[in-house]
Structure 1
Amino acid sequence: MLLQHGRKPARFPAMKRRRRGLSMKTLLGAVAVLVLTSFAALGVYLYAFPEPAPTEQLDLALRLLSKGEIDVAARLASVVEDADLVKNSDHSKKLFLLGARERNLARSIEQRPVAMERNEKAVEYLTKSRSYSFPDGFEGLANYHLGMALFDLFRWDEAEEPLAIASARWPAGRSDAIERLVDIDLSRDRQDIENALDRISHWRTLPRSSADDDERADIKEMQAYFAAGEFEKVDALQARIPKNSNYRPLSDLFAGKCEMELSKRENSPEGRTKRLEKALEYLAAVLKSPKTTISVRRQANLDQGKVTRSLGRLTEAISILSILRLSSPYEPESLAAGIEEIETLIQADRVDDAIDTMVQVSNNLGDLRWYYTDWLPISGLRDRVTAACQTLIDMGRYPQAQKFVSSLPKFCDMLDRIRLESSLYEKWAESLPKGGSNDRDRLEHYRSAGKAYEDLTRQLPRAKEYDDWLWSSIENYRKSGDYLSSNRMLDRYISLQDRANRPKGYFVRAKNLASMEKSDDAMKSLQQILASNIDTPLIYDARLELAKLKRQQDAFDEAQDLMLENLSGELRPESPIWRESLFELALMLFSRGERGLLKARNEIEANPSKMQDFLGQVEASQEQLLESIRRIEEFLRRYPTDVRRFQFLYQMAQGYQHASFWPEIQLRESKIASEERLASLKSQKKELLVQARKAYSRLRQEILADRDASRALVSNLDDLLRNSFFGEADLYFNDEEYEEALIAYTDAANRFINEPESLEARKQIALCQRKLGRLADCRRSLELARDSLQRIPAEQDAKFKAVTPHDRAGWERYLTALIQDLDRENTP
């Protein structure tokens, strides 16, 4: 045993003088016997002989420790009561012995959780021992144990000093200490490659503590050059490691990692594949070798899964990663394999399996301290998990992403969940079409997104994204219909903004108030923008929205002035606001003209004697309708692909039709007018009706040419198409052009075969024939209409009242009555 300390046995002469008492040899033999006996024997010894003083007992324990008997030494120290310790040095000795035992136990345990507990106890004991000053003669060993324990706990800043001391004062542990110091130099947060290489160079100049020192230095140098990206030097060093060396598997692992990194530099797919295949060869050699340690084997399995995934062999990669994940759930390689497996499953479009794996990873996750490692920190795992969830969101797999978010592992915090939820629910809501059964879900998702963004602003009030989150919360609450919450967030937004940025808040608040039917408050908010004298493009938006509110309150002149101000200012026709201002102006003029004309017409028809009282109103309404048509034509000319053109074409036809009432009423009133005047009025009326028919025809042609493409964008496209058929035909009929009307109604009947509209068309065809004196044709048309009624499928029943004056039974009675009336008239 003494040879361990480098001392030679003493030389004695052949003849020895007889000595009294026990010889040294006898005493050493007794100690050896005690060392080799069980703890029970030690207890008997302590019981049988008088108890030694604490100092002597601890010194004996230190001597046992120096001989490698750590457990016995620690047991001997543990029976010493703290109350019996007087000297600080005795406290230091006991704590050192207990700490050395915990560190020795930690080294022999493969299970990371148990090893970490032992290391934590070792650090606790050794740190207290250091506070008293480590025992004389054991400073190097004590710092070695403390530094190694701190290193294994990833407390590397604290480990550096004791490891440096150990490398200088504990030759037996010098190589271990230097290896750890190199790891600290190459750590993610430091990356001091130059200092690491200097340490290795100095290490090579020191006396060898073992035959493996050169190979260990080569391995650390490979690690340093790998971190520097100098893979050719790694390859050269790898070739120096003998194939039968215990360090060959680790060198092969580094060689495989180099090939993985070099594959990323390849420009061609062939070159990349060749590198990855070479990496797999190295990793296979690592896994095949009986000298591979468990930790290196786990690393090789993880890299094997990554390389296989990079080669596109996803099923094989999933199998490799799944086995590693399940084999040792409390190791960092297992957790990293789980995350890699989830990403691979998503890549393979096995989203449900990815979610199941995420749930398993979360449920089996142990204490996060067990997974600390420099090559993949917890923050890196968090980023990858949240990125995987964001991938699902970007793929539009919203229900699966929702489940994924609810299963996030505990190393993802509440903010990770909230960030993902804000993106998830906002995009989910935007993906749902308006109308139908989707409305409820869409509004609920917008509200959830608004709440998530609000939570982010509360949790991270100083984040650089704060203003963006706040605005997203405002917008999502608004889109959900929760205008109160949106305005509540707007109050906060406006209070935090300078004067130049407040119009944005005023504008959205006005839109919210308008949606809440608080028009007066909304107009006040918009007028705040107009009165602010701030150079902001929102001035134009504010004018447009204020004009809409004014129109709703029948303040047409004010609304028209606001829109004309937009159209005549700095805005150009390319601007969306200019386009919308033109649209709203045309819409307002039509609405105003139509309302005024219909009101006057109803009054005149109710009381013809008061016609003169309403002539001025009819004339003004016609001017507004014609101005509306001019604005519509400008809109159609500038924006021929705008889907609202169908609505405008219909309004143009209606505008011409309404405008024809002005020459018509003048014809009624002008009883003593000249022939020339009467001819002029008739010509005006006819021209307006011709233009109306052309507009209906154009509307019909454009809908039929672009119906499929526009159907999703124009909800009332079918209504506009039906009105275009019957609108044109009715104009011919009302103008007593029955032959033309007959053709137009026939087109409508053919277009709506086996639909309720065909009955109205057949009935009108019969009326045209009756007007033309073709009574036999009239009766055949009515019979045909009645036959058509029977062919209309039952699922169309709900449509009858929506598009015609009668339901199915009503049409049966109506058509029968028309036929009977016609028969009676023809009966002599």
Structure 2
Amino acid sequence: MAAEAELESTAKVGLVGRLIRSLLRPSRILLIGGGLACVAIAGTLSLTMWGSDGDSADTYPQAWELLKEAKFQESRAMATRLLIDHQTPAEIGEGAFLVGRALCGEAENEWNDTRRVGMYLIASRYLQEAYHNGFPEGHEDEGLYYLAMSTFESDRPTASLPFWSELEEKDPIPFRDETLDYLKRVYLIDRHLDESEGLRIVDAIAENPELTTDQREQLTLDRGKLLLRAGRFEEGLNAIKEIAPESPLRPSQRLLKVRLLLASAQVLEDREQRGESIGQSVEELYEQAVSELLGVEVSLMEDPQEGDLALFHLGQCYQRLGDLDQAEQLFGEIRRAHLDDSLGWAAAVEEAYSQFMQADLDEATARFHSVFASMKRASEPDDRWMSLKQMQEKHDEFLTHLLAKQRFDDALGLAQAMWPPLPREASLRWQATIHSAWGTQLMDEATRVPPDPELDVAAARAAGLQHLRAAGLAHLKLSRLENATTRYAEHLLAAAEAFSQGHDYERARTVYRQVFDEEPGDRAAWLLLRIGECQLALGNLDAATKSFEDCIEQHEEDPDSYLARLALSQIFLDREDPATAKQLLIRNLETTSLTPESREWRLSLLALARTLYQEAALLEAESRTLGLDDPGSDPEPGLRKLEESYEAFREAIRRLNEVARRYGDDPDILEYRYLLAEAHRAAAQWPRKKALQVTVASSRLRLEEQARDHTRQAAGVVSQLLQDLSRRQDQRQLDEVETHLLRNCYFAHADLLFDLDRYEEAIEAYSSAANRYNDTPESLEAFVRMATCFRELNRFDDARGVVEQAKLFLADRISADADFSGTTRHTRDEWAKFLDLLGQL
């Protein structure tokens, strides 16, 4: 900068150069009204500040005399020259005071607003220097007054408050009327200051008995404004009644009354929403406000912005009274007249809100986008029209509605566009919420029963997972923004949960571990559980085992340790170690901290029943490896192992019966009832096969009856399951698990009737199964067993007829790519040969 360069090159700059440079720095320029214009003022003053060099007539008394004669420029120049050669604190204080005071005098006579603000700014810098070095003796009050005044008049009212307050603390108050008036103006301008202090100042001013009627009415209006900000609306309405109808302040009084009425109505609406009794009509307040606004003579208002405010409030009243079309039209007119200022933005938001209330969501979305785009190019709006908080509340309500209507794309676009001007934290929270809701909705659609025939299920699922992961990223960004707040861990945990829901288990594990390492708090057990679950989902069984074991060992009495035992038991069960799995589950069931009503106890019992069933099934399978079904092998080792499985199945049956008795309404109860039937069916094998090896008739009969009893119980369970599933199918379409259960029950029911030698009933059951599933390989098994039933009944022609029917099904009904080996004992070709052979019998 030219002025700064010149000052830097001048050896005798001293205090003057330092003060001028402080004004020319970029960070200071932002504080100066008029920006570059003020820089030009500072540069001009730097060239004329000290006049000719080395004038021997320069003295402080002479500079004081020039100041008294209102020769401000000459006084300033002389004081500046004196400052060059006199650098004691007293001399600096005196010289800086003279320069600052003279500049105030020049500023008072300056007609150009920008230059005047700049001159006051420079004056305030000099006077502040004088304040720190000490004002001249006898001029302390004057110096403090002009320091406060120049700071205020340089568009920094709040910065002037400490100086005004210091003046007010003196007794008596110097420049009392002016000081109190400036203090009042500071409290009126800065909406963040304590209104009660402003009201105290107003009361102090009112003590002056010499106030004119106009001054008292202005003071009354100012009191009403402060009462409005303080939320004391009734007091405000009563106060402004003192302004006479013929007063020139009448239009401003009516407008303030409207603002008080609107604020009162808003409070009542909030109370009504909370379910409180309000005792008066909100609509009446809005109607009163409209009546006042229609009576306002805008042309008589001293401040043109008050006229704009009147129109703006009129639109708000129409909106609240339900005249949304009129409100939208009025807000639109205001917006078009104020395209790039705070009033225009506030009107645009209200216009969008009116469109939203009329269900014109497309127009409202476009209007919100437009106002956010316009506001990105500007500073924070003037909250006289609408604060950012109020703007965000209206936008939040609109986004909530878009979410309810599942207009996720529109909602996400607005959430991304809202920052700036609205806080980035709010934008990210909305993005996380929308991505989560969108992802959840897509996942629900992908798993809906019955599926939408027009939906690409795979694409919907992929998109749903992507949105859930995007929600996690938004939460992660929030955690970085608020890493110094108590919400930091909360955001991290929300991110991890979203990543987990989006099947990004690696990132979820990383974030859970981060929280565990940084601030686990009382969540340590839960975090270890979640880390283990992520490792399990990633297939890292050893790492998952370590996390679950740490959770159990380090937090034995924590409720999450019970869930860790559950998860760990499944790992051991998958590793074919049911004994260890069983120990973990029994530990949960035997603890005194859990009751059968608790979720952990219920899940442990369900898991134990399934574990016992699997343990028994493993023993039964092992018996076959010992040659139990091999005619050439010794049956005893296999029978002993089968007897072990029998006892294990009996224990499984006991627990499965307990499950059915305690938790009949569990969502998975049908599966456990089917397992109960299978356990009875499997338990029948040992007494049946053992009976073949027993020679004592009574023992053999007892074993055969045991086998038949288990088979009868299995048949009863399956029969009831068939009825329940069929009834459910009449009410709605079955889900995938229920569909498989129904199919298995059809075939199992027929097999059990066959095992009970109830051949006629078995034939009917096999026929139902074969016809219901005539396009599946399993139907062939039904036909074969049906043929066996006919032969047992000596109905050989019927048996051959059924075999021929099976051949037709194989040739015409069952598709060529059907999975034969996965669901039956033969391949397609083997079935063809087997049926040919069977047909010859």
Class of the TM-score when normalised by the shorter of the 2 chains? 0.7 to 0.9
Alignment of 1:53-452 (within 5 A): 91-92=99-100, 95-96=103-104, 99-100=107-108, 105-106=112-113, 121=118, 123-128=120-125, 130-131=127-128, 146-150=151-155, 157=161, 160=164, 169=175, 177=182, 180-181=185-186, 183=188, 187=192, 189-192=194-197, 194-202=199-207, 205-208=209-212, 212-227=214-229, 229=231, 231-263=233-265, 264-265=267-268, 267=277, 271-286=281-296, 291=301, 293-346=303-356, 348-365=358-375, 368-369=378-379, 371-373=381-383, 377-378=387-388, 381=391, 385=395, 389=399, 397-431=407-441, 432-433=443-444, 436-437=457-458, 438-452=460-474
Instruction: Work out the CA distance in 1 between the residues paired with 2:817 and 2:255.
Output: 74
595, 602, 606: which one aligns with 1:583 = 606
Q: Which residue of 1 aligns with 2:639?
A: 615
Alpha carbons 1:730, 1:741 under 8 Å: kept: yes
Secondary structure at 1:658's aligned position in 2?
A: helix
Q: Cα distance, 1:717 vs. partner?
A: 1.0
Alignment check: 8 A CA contact 2:480 2:488 kept:
no
Aligned letter for 2:217? Answer: E
The aligned residue for residue 667 of structure 2 is: 643
In structure 2, relative to structure 1, the CA distance for the partners of 1:105 and 1:781 (3 Å cut) is farther
| Pairing partner for 1:660 from 662, 672, 684 | 684
Counterpart pick for 1:684 among 706, 714, 725:
706
CA contact (8 A) 2:495 2:508 kept: yes
Instruction: State the distance in 2 between where 1:430 and 1:731 align.
Output: 43
CA contact (8 A) 1:148 1:177 kept: no
Q: Over the residues paired in the alignment, what is the CA RMSD in angstroms?
A: 5.0
User: What is the SS of the residue equivalent to 2:207?
Assistant: helix
State the Cα deviation string for residues 5-39 of structure 1 (Å, max 9, x = none): xxxxxxxxxxxxxxxxxxxxxxxxxxxxxxxxxxx
Tell me which residue corresponds to 1:522: 544
Give the drift of 1:583. 0.7
Which residue of structure 2 lines up, in the alignment, with residue 69 of structure 1?
Answer: none
Change (3 A) 1:546 1:284: same
Worse overlay, 777-786 or 546-555: 777-786
How far is the alpha carbon of 1:140 from its aligned partner?
7.7
Tell me which amino acid in the other structure corresponds to 1:280.
V
- On the 8 A contact 1:99/1:125 being kept in 2, the answer is no
SS of match in other structure, 1:609? coil
Equivalent residues of 2:775, 2:809 under 8 A apart? yes
Structure 2 unaligned spans of 5+ = 1-51, 85-94, 448-456
Q: 2-side partners of 1:801 and 1:310: how far apart?
A: 70
CA distance in 2, matches of 1:447, 1:645: 33
1:564 CA drift (Å): 1.1
Give the conservation status (yes or no) of the 8 Å contact 1:782–1:815.
no
Deviation at 1:122, TM superposition (A): 5.4
Q: In the alignment, which residue of structure 2 is the partner of 1:596?
A: 619
Paired residue secondary structure (1:512): helix
Question: By how many angstroms is 1:484 displaced?
Answer: 3.4
Please say if residues 619 and 662 of structure 1, whose CA atoms lie closer than 8 Å, have aligned partners that are also in contact: yes
- Paired position in structure 2 for 1:19: none
Shift of 1:330: 4.0
TM-score, normalised via structure 1 length = 0.75
What is the aligned partner in structure 2 of residue 698 from structure 1?
A: 720
Q: Which amino acid aligns with 1:694?
A: G
The 2-side partners of 1:533 and 1:800 are apart by 48
Aligned: 1:738 with 2:759: yes
Task: Report whether the alignment pairs 1:485 with 2:507.
Answer: yes
Return the alpha-carbon distance in structure 2 between the equivalents of residues 340 and 799 of structure 1: 63
State how far apart, in whole Å, the 2-side matches of 1:180 and 1:558 are.
79
Q: CA deviation at 1:219?
A: 1.4
Q: Tell me the SS of whatever aligns to 1:554.
A: coil
Give the drift of 1:644.
0.9
Give the percent of matched residue pairs that are identical in Structure 1 and Structure 2. 21
Change (3 A) 1:233 1:402: closer
SS in 2 for 1:637: helix
Q: Is the 8 A contact 2:251 2:298 kept in 1?
A: no
Measured after TM superposition, the shift of residue 245 of structure 1 is 3.9
Question: Is the Cα contact below 8 Å between 1:506 and 1:525 reproduced in 2?
Answer: yes
In 1, Cα distance between the equivalents of 2:405 and 2:115? Answer: 46
Q: Give unpaired runs (5+ residues) of structure 1.
A: 1-50, 67-72, 107-116
What amino acid is aligned across from residue 202 of structure 1 in structure 2? E
**Counterpart for residue 525 of structure 2:** 503
Distance 1:556 1:547 in 2: 8
For 1:628 and 1:621, the matched residues in 2 are separated by 10
1:373 is displaced (CA, Å) by: 4.0
Q: How far did residue 702 of structure 1 move?
A: 1.9
1:802 & 1:402 partners in 2: Cα distance? Answer: 50
Residues in 1 aligned to 2:200 and 2:772: alpha-carbon distance in whole angstroms: 86
Answering whether residue 622 of structure 2 is matched by residue 625 of structure 1, we say no
1:680 deviation in Å? Answer: 1.7
Moved more, 768-777 or 507-516: 768-777
Q: Please say if residues 415 and 428 of structure 2, whose CA atoms lie closer than 8 Å, have aligned partners that are also in contact.
A: no
Aligned to 1:3: none
Structure 2 CA distance for partners of 1:799 and 1:329, relative to 1, 3 Å: farther
Secondary structure of 1:357's aligned partner: helix
In structure 2, distance between residues paired with 1:307 and 1:552:
68
Could you give the per-residue CA deviations for residues 421-475 of structure 1, whole angstroms, max 9, x where no partner exists? 3444344444433754343334333433333333333333331123323333333
Change (3 A) 1:506 1:140: closer
> How many aligned residue pairs are there?
745
1:20-31 to 2 correspondence within 5 Å? none
Partner of 2:450: none
Cα shift at 1:620: 0.8
Amino acid at match of 2:575: Q
Amino acid at match of 1:485: R
Counterpart Cα distance in 2 of 1:567 and 1:231:
63
What is the SS of the residue equivalent to 2:418? Answer: coil
Q: Kindly provide the amino acid, as one letter, of the partner of residue 504 in structure 2.
A: D
Alignment partners' CA distance in 2, 1:423 and 1:518: 31
Larger of the two Rg values belongs to structure: 1
Please show how residues 542-553 of structure 1 align to structure 2 within 5 Å: 542-553=564-575
- In structure 2, how many angstroms separate the alpha carbons of the residues matched to 1:288 and 1:754? 84
Partner of 2:4: none
CA contact (8 A) 1:547 1:559 kept: yes
Whether the 8 Å contact between 2:605 and 2:655 is mirrored in structure 1 is yes
* Offset at residue 719 of structure 1 (A): 0.9
Contact 1:544 1:563 in 2 (8 A): yes
C-alpha distance after superposition, 1:199-228 (max 9, x if no partner): 45135x2344xx732332231233244445
Change (3 A) 1:533 1:479: closer
Residue among 633, 658, 662 paired with 1:634: 658
Q: Where does residue 24 of structure 2 map in the other structure?
A: none
1:30 aligned residue: none
Which of the numbers 557, 569, 574 marks the counterpart of 2:597?
A: 574
User: AA paired with 1:728?
Assistant: H
Separation of aligned partners in 1, 2:510 and 2:730:
43
